[in-house]
């Protein structure tokens, strides 16, 4: 099959085999890429119109017990500045967010044992008590089945846990031996079974990654059928062993966004901060390639700089209101409007 035929197949059958996906990633020409982009943008517009969903991101802790080789807040990074938000700080970030129009709050952090089930459930319950019309999304890494169940019962609606890479051997080159690919995948399946709207996702251009790995990521998403998929370029952090690895390619990330959109027409697909970090208009380009979500930062300003997963992260100097304004303007500049709709997944 030639690339045009593969694009048509992605449109009509919402899938393609591994070899075709690898071929697409390796050999797409500029013209073919533009066709793919248009199809992906049309697919998104047919479902979401020119509406872009917003999620208020609250980075609750820079402590992490994990040691992922690529990440700036890995536990062995002595230079990382550690902070954690109190329950009051988290809830007041939601208060500010609600007033600005946010109806989804994403509580994200390193794997920080301080946030026991008891503490975390209390926070979730308080947010849901104050704002029953809002969705609470958690992004707290791998937790036990019991813990995830308790958080669900406390009222959490969604959970983000990127699989990072669908190649087990690749996963093992990016993580220390105590981390397990199988547990990652099992946790994702469990999240879905419990009832969470679940987000998986992967980095583009992470060290040692091949086109075959990326094809496997696409097929993994197709098989798992998560409601959300977060992808962004790998960006090196100067305190990690991957400091000299170049960041992931803008073009490859955009192509993957488009392919993901065609393979999963209803999926919620953010134009991520990492994409905005490697290109001044990266998030706009992401939307034009089929993404339909942006995640402005709602974290208290004094800690922004310290949630440093990779170098040169954008939005570390801005207030929540400024980020929202900035994104409103950016979306408007490409003919899209931010909506305050909760933005749940629909088949
Ligand atoms: N570059 C890009 N993304 C990163 N993440 C962690 N470190 C980096 C990095 N150096 C992503 C991971 C994680 C998410 C919270 O941030 O995919 O799941
Ligand atoms: Fe944060 Fe633009 S989105 S400053």
Between the CA of 101 and the centroid of ligand 1 the distance, in Å, is 27
Enumerate residues lining ligand 1, CB below 6 A. Answer: 70-71, 162, 164, 203, 232, 234-235, 237, 274, 309-310
Q: How far is the CA of 324 from the centre of ligand 2 (A)?
A: 7
Confidence of residue 337 (pLDDT cuts 50, 70, 90): very high
Q: Which of 162, 309, 310, 313 to mutate to test the pocket of ligand 1 (most atoms within 8 A of CB)?
A: 309
Q: What is the pLDDT of residue 286?
A: 99
Predicted local distance difference test score (pLDDT) of residue 115: 98
Q: Is 223 exposed, middle or buried (0-12, 13-18, 19+ CB in 10 A)?
A: exposed
Q: Which residues line ligand 2 (CB under 6 A)?
A: 296, 315, 318, 322-323, 326-327
Q: How far is the CA of 62 from the centre of ligand 2 (A)?
A: 21
Strand, coil or helix: 339: strand
Q: What average pLDDT does this structure show over 159-172?
A: 98
pLDDT-derived band of residue 304, with 50, 70 and 90 as boundaries?
Answer: very high
Distance from the Cα of residue 74 to its chain's centroid: 18
Q: pLDDT > 70: what percent of the chain?
A: 100
Q: Summarize the confidence of residues 139-147 as an average pLDDT.
A: 98
Pocket residue to mutate for ligand 1, from 170, 202, 310, most atoms within 8 A of Cβ: 310
* Token output for 288: 């034009």
What was the pLDDT predicted at 225? 98
The pLDDT-based confidence of 191 (bands split at 50, 70, 90) is very high
**CA 334 to CA 325: how far, in whole Å?**
15
Average pLDDT on 178-197 reads: 98
Reported as a single tens digit per residue, the pLDDT across 9-32 is: 999 999 999 999 999 999 999 999
Report DSSP letters for 29-91, one per residue.
Answer: -HHHHHHHHHHHHHHHHHHHTTEEEE-EEEEEE---S---TT-TT-TT-TTPPP-B--HHHHH
Note whether 243 and 71 are within 8 A (CB). Answer: no
Nearest ligand for residue 304 CA: 2
The residue whose CB lies within 8 Å of the most ligand 1 atoms, and thus the one to mutate among 55, 77, 198, 203, is: 203
Q: Which ligand is nearest to the CA of 67?
A: 1
Q: How far is the centre of ligand 2, averaged over its atoms, from the C-alpha of 341 (Å)?
A: 20
Residue 50: burial class (beta carbons within 10 Å; 0-12, 13-18, 19+): middle
Rg of the chain over Cα atoms, rounded to whole angstroms, equals 19
pLDDT (mean) for 45-57: 98
Q: What is the pLDDT of residue 84?
A: 98
pLDDT tens sequence across 93-106? 999 999 999 999 99
Q: Rounded to whole angstroms, how far apart are CA atoms 110 and 291?
A: 25
Q: Which residue has the tokens 């393609």?
A: 16
- In this structure, the residue with its CA closest to atom 13 of ligand 1 is 162
296 alpha carbon to ligand 2 midpoint, in Å? 7
Which pair of tokens denotes residue 112?
């920080």
Q: Are 281 and 249 in contact (CB under 8 A)?
A: no
For the CA of 171, the nearest ligand: 1
């Amino acid at each position: 099959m030639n690339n045009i035929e593969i694009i048509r197949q992605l449109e009509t059958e919402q899938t393609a085999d591994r070899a075709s996906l690898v071929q697409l990633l390796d050999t797409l020409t500029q013209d073919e890429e533009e066709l793919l982009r248009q199809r992906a943008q049309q697919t998104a517009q047919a479902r979401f119109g020119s509406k872009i969903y917003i999620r208020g991101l609250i980075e609750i802790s820079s402590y992490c017990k994990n040691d992922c080789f690529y990440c700036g807040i890995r536990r062995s990074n002595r230079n990382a500045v550690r902070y954690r938000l109190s329950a009051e700080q988290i809830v007041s970030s939601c208060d500010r967010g609600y007033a600005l129009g946010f109806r989804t709050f994403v509580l994200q952090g390193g794997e920080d044992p301080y946030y026991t089930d008891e503490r975390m459930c209390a926070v979730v319950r308080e947010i849901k008590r104050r704002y029953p019309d809002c969705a609470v999304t958690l992004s707290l890494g791998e937790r036990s089945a019991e813990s995830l169940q308790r958080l669900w019962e406390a009222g959490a609606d969604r959970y983000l846990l990127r699989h990072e890479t669908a190649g087990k051997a690749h996963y093992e080159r990016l993580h220390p031996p105590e981390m397990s690919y199988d547990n990652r995948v099992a946790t994702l399946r469990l999240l879905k079974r419990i009832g969470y709207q679940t987000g998986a996702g992967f980095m583009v251009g992470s060290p040692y990654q091949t086109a075959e790995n990326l094809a496997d990521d696409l097929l993994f998403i197709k098989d798992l059928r998560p409601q959300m998929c977060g992808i962004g370029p790998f960006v090196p952090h100067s305190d990690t062993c991957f400091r000299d690895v170049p960041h992931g390619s803008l073009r490859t990330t955009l192509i993957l966004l488009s392919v993901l959109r065609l393979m999963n027409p209803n999926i919620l697909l953010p134009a991520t901060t990492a994409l905005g970090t490697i290109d001044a208009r990266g998030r706009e380009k992401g939307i034009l390639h089929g993404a339909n979500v942006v995640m402005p930062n709602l974290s208290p300003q004094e800690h922004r700089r310290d949630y440093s997963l990779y170098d040169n992260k954008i939005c570390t100097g801005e207030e929540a209101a400024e980020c929202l304004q900035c994104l409103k303007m950016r979306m408007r500049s490409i003919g899209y409007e931010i909506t305050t709709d909760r933005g749940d997944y629909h088949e």
